[in-house]
Structure 1
Amino acid sequence: MVPVEAPYDDRLLHQRVVGGDESALGEVYDRLSSLIFGLALRVTRDRVIAEDITQEVFLVFWERPLAYDPERGTLRAWLATIAHRRAVDHVRAEERRRVSALGPRLFEREPVRLEDTVLAADEAQRVRQAVTSLPDGLREAVELAYFGGRTYRQVGEELGVPEGTAKSRIRLALRRLADALAEEEV
């Protein structure tokens, strides 16, 4: 690896921090804290956690300034690397906590009862019949929105109607479906 020379002010600030100069740490913080915070926020998506990580990064630099080697790169890159690693570690730890909170329940499955399966299949069949009984314009709109995952705007574009019309058709279709299924006690 070819050594990268850090800018002179990085070297000078580093030397001052190594010497215990708190104002040098303040200068580094003023110059780089928004970068560190933004990076941590982008990874964690949590302002409070990003603030904590920002504080931790500068604390690491203050407590162990000799861990930074100006011959290997800029202070900016070194602090950003620490921030990124801490943020990723936090996200991974949160995910582990979330999964472990589910515990054995994650892998346990309730026994599937034949009765429940038959009832669900019967309800699904009744819903399909109710949808097919809708007039074409309403049926197409509700199928695109609910079975096709389209937005009101996309439904309108595909059907060649204004977005408001698509929205009205979907609402009317849902109202008719609800009425028809309520009559069948679904």
Structure 2
Amino acid sequence: MTDKEYRSLFRSSPREAQNMVFDEYFSYVYTIVFNKLRSCAAKEDIEECVSDVFADVFEYISAENGHDGNIKGFIGTVAQRKAVNMFHSLTAKSGRTVSIEEGGADNITDYTDIADNAERAELRRILLRLVEELGEPDSTMIIQKYYYGMTSKEIAETVSLEPSAVRMRCSRAIRRLKDKLAELDIYLKEAE
């Protein structure tokens, strides 16, 4: 579709012209934007950039400016420029500086192990659920001791028990917690 064809369709039905251009070039624009922003942008940022590209394209072409070339080249140029601008904006906010023109965005290594993080998050969720199932005051004592690092004396003050009773209840609660985890085939490493 050329610019002239788009303008003539736009004159007769602006909505239809915009829908046609959007349907025809959406994948093209999304690919350009995604390739520039994949290393630094969230999906929402990429989608926002794609929307901005089409807004600029529709605004420019609906105005009478005398351009009558191939619309695909124009759309590609707008997509490139919008994506580069958003890339610079996002990396400036995060404090990272990489030259997108030199292919630097493709060379950024992410050392985050997503699978490991997901596994750890799931283990924490299970562990917290099992600690809560211990009931009070055991769950409170376990959280205070192992999460907040409180001493038996400090915990005793919060749960109105003697420090020796806190130590005894904590050791029993830990044994029950280990048994519950073992039922789920989860085994904790002993502290060194």
| Normalised-by-shorter TM-score class | 0.3 to 0.5
Q: TM-score, normalised by structure 2?
A: 0.42
User: Relative to total residues, which structure has the larger helix share, 1 or 2?
Assistant: 1
Q: TM-score, normalised by structure 1?
A: 0.43
